[in-house]
Amino acid sequence: MRALALALLLMAAPAFSQEAPLGASTCLGCHSPVRADAAIPSLRGRDAAEVAAAMREFREGTRPATLMDRLAKGFTEAETQAIAAWITR
């Protein structure tokens, strides 16, 4: 009974319609969506296609990077696109 009520309650909560795709939540450890003065830029509100393109260039080694080239290689193109759509929203 309790479990069912719980399940219904949780399904009703709007927060769950926006679940982070694979790997995306850990990008926020560096790309703060709230710090305005950050050196590592916020990706919120950016163009999703641009973010996906940047990730592709990092992965292929054609975009200058101190770190992102090493991280971007852990994701496929499809995974990157899902992250880009979520993180820019």
Partner 1 sequence: MRIARRALAALLLPAPAFAQASARVVVIGGGFGGATAARSLARAGIATTLVEANPTYTACPFSNAVIAGLRPMEAQRFGYDALRAEGVSVVHQRATGVDATAKRVILADGTVLPFDRALVSPGIELRFDALPGYDEAASRAMPHAWQAGAQTELLAAQLAAMPDGGTVIMAVPPNPYRCPPGPYERASLIAHFLKSRKPRSKLLVLDAKDVFSKQRLFEAAWAALYPGLLEYVPLAMGGRVTEVDAKARRVTTDFGSHEGAVVNVIPPQRAGAIAQAAGLADRSGWCPVDPSSFESRLVPGVHVIGDAIIAGAMPKSAFAAHAQARVAVAAMVAMLRGAPVPAARLLNTCYSLVAPGYGISVAGVYRPANGVLADIPGAGGTSPLDAPASVREAEAHYAEDWFATITADAFA
Where do contacts with ligand HEC occur on this chain (CB under 6 A)? 23, 27, 29-31, 40-41, 43, 51, 54-55, 65-68, 71, 83, 87
Binding partner of residue 9 among ligand HEC, partner 1, none, CB cut-off 5 to 8 Å per kind: partner 1
Binding partner of residue 55 among ligand HEC, partner 1, none, CB cut-off 5 to 8 Å per kind: ligand HEC
Interaction of residue 35 with partner 1, rule CB under 8 A:
yes
Q: How far apart are CA 58 and CA 68, in angstroms?
A: 6
Least gap, CB of 21 to partner 1 (angstroms): 9
Query: In the set 57, 79, 85, 88, which binds partner 1 (CB under 8 A)?
Result: 79
Q: How far apart are CA 65 and CA 79, in angstroms?
A: 20
Place of tokens 């590592």: 40
31 exposure class (CB count in 10 Å sphere: 0-12, 13-18, 19+): middle
Q: Is the Cα torsion angle 37, 39, 85, 24 positive or negative in sign? A: negative
